[in-house]
Amino acid sequence: GEVKGRRRFEETQVPHGQGTIYYFTNDRFNRHNYTGSWMNGFREGNGTTNFKDGSIYTGEYRNSLENGAGLIRYSNGNELEAEFVNGKIEGHGVYRYSNGDQREGFFSDNVLDGQAIFTRNDGTTVIEKWQNG
C-alpha cells in the first residue's frame, strides 16, 4: 500500500507490512520517501529511501535505522556499498566513483579509517593509509 499524510493504519495507526511513506518537506534527514517493510511502526527488513538530493539508499533496516548490507547511489553517479550499524557506516565498504575508480577499506563512525586500497580505472592500485577520514 501507499501511505500519504495522516492516513489511519487500522485501529493502531502504526504501519505494519509493506508500504511507502512520504516525508514532510522539513524532514531533518532530507528524505523524500521510504518504500519497504514495516514492523510495528519501524522500518524493518529490506527497503529503499529516496533523498531530496537524488541519493538513494537500498538495503537492510532494523529499528528504523540502516543496519546490515546497504548500497547508496549518489546523484553524481558514485556509489557506496557497505555495512551499516545503527544508521552509520561501520566496517567494510567499497566506494565506486562514476569514472571507474574505486576505494575499498574499513569505516568507523561514517569515516574511512585505516588501510584502504585505491584502484584506478586503468588497474593501477595504491595502498593508502586513512586516519579519521
- Model confidence at 13, pLDDT cuts 50, 70, 90, reads confident
Q: What sign has the CA pseudo-torsion 39, 45, 50, 55?
A: positive
Q: pLDDT tens digits, residue range 70-91?
A: 999 999 999 999 999 999 999 9
Question: Which pLDDT tens digit goes with each residue over 92-129?
Answer: 999 999 999 999 999 999 999 999 999 999 999 999 99
Own/partner pairs for 30-38, CB < 8 Å, 24+ apart?
36/61, 37/61
Q: Could you give the count of Cα atoms lying within 13 Å of 94 in the half-sphere of its Cβ?
A: 8
